Amino acid sequence: MEYQGSSDWDGLLDPLDDHLRAEILRYGTFVEAAYKSFEFDPSSPSYAACRFPKSKFSDRCCLPSTTGYKVTMNLRATSGIELPRWVERAPCWFSNKSSNIGYVAVCDNKEEIRRLGRRDVVIAYRGTITCLEWLENLRANLTHIPLEGSESEPEDHGPMVQSGFLSLYTSAACNSLSLQQMVREEIHRILQTYDGEPLSLTLTGHSLGAALATLTAYDIKTSLWFEHRKPMVTVISFGGPRVGDWTFRQELENQGTKVLRIVNSDDVVTKVPGFVFERDDDVADGRSAHVARWVKKRLEDAQWTYAEVGKELRLRSTDSPYLSGLNAATCHNLNTYLHLVDGFVGSTCPFRATAERFIRG
């Protein structure tokens, strides 16, 4: 359970523990599968859907057969952006409002369950692909999370998250449930199916998927009644943007949700959206502190002050002898992240002499 964050990965990140490295890379393969299962071809009638049926998902997406995970549900996200009527005549790659974003998988292998000490449930999300997802990413102001089970306005002092991420998570299409509804129903079903067994819920994603994984973890802990069972909820995120404000961070911590953010220092996506300020009690005394509080107050009024969440495993592309000439896109690439994790040792010795994942610049 320490590799799931029960001790906040204390002593495991610098230097990086080899068992934790293997677990991070293992969850990275689940995110890779979310990309591989997506229908990228805009000329295909199934554009933005899942390419494979659940029965063939693991084999077709090259999930290691030894993992023993069975896909139980494909997940779709819907944009809440209101489009003009003429967009209905636009190509589907531009106007498609709902698209496959990831899946839920349950460990079904006795040996793997014995190795982990529990039955693991994975929710994996891909990063941004469609045009409307890019537009949602640009809706970077913070907005309050709606109250559970209420159609009234959210609390003024409740947690706030990025507007576009919340839109993709909570919006529904006319013929499809929202991502939030799909996740809630499937996790509730899984908890009932495996009642009495030790379970863990692991959410993983890259880029936009990392943000949705964090938001999903918060929602699961907030909305689902676990009775006497309290499965550990852990997020393993790759190259994720900021998600919410200080209140959101504090509520995640109070829930006991564990978040491990894998961050490439050369990746600009991990530095957006908004601004990050320390809390008032962390700011030094004097005029600089007064100025910092004044700036922070102005930004809070504009709903642009974010907070980092969880524990951070910080990597750097320039530390790898195998990477050269990287641009902003390749610094953010999931394969780059997995390569860096595979070769990372620690801050005093950044990179191993050889790497199992070799990526040509």
**Cβ(126)–Cβ(150) below 8 Å:** no
For residue 26, count other CB atoms closer than 10 A to its CB.
17
Tell me the two tokens of residue 167: 């839109």
Q: What is the Cα Rg of the chain in Å?
A: 20
Is 267 marked active-site? yes
Catalytically annotated residue among 144, 206, 332, 339: 332
Q: Which is the catalytic residue, given 207, 237, 317, 320?
A: 207
Q: List the catalytic residue out of 120, 219, 245, 267.
A: 267
Residue 207: active-site member:
yes
Residues with a known catalytic role: 207, 267, 332
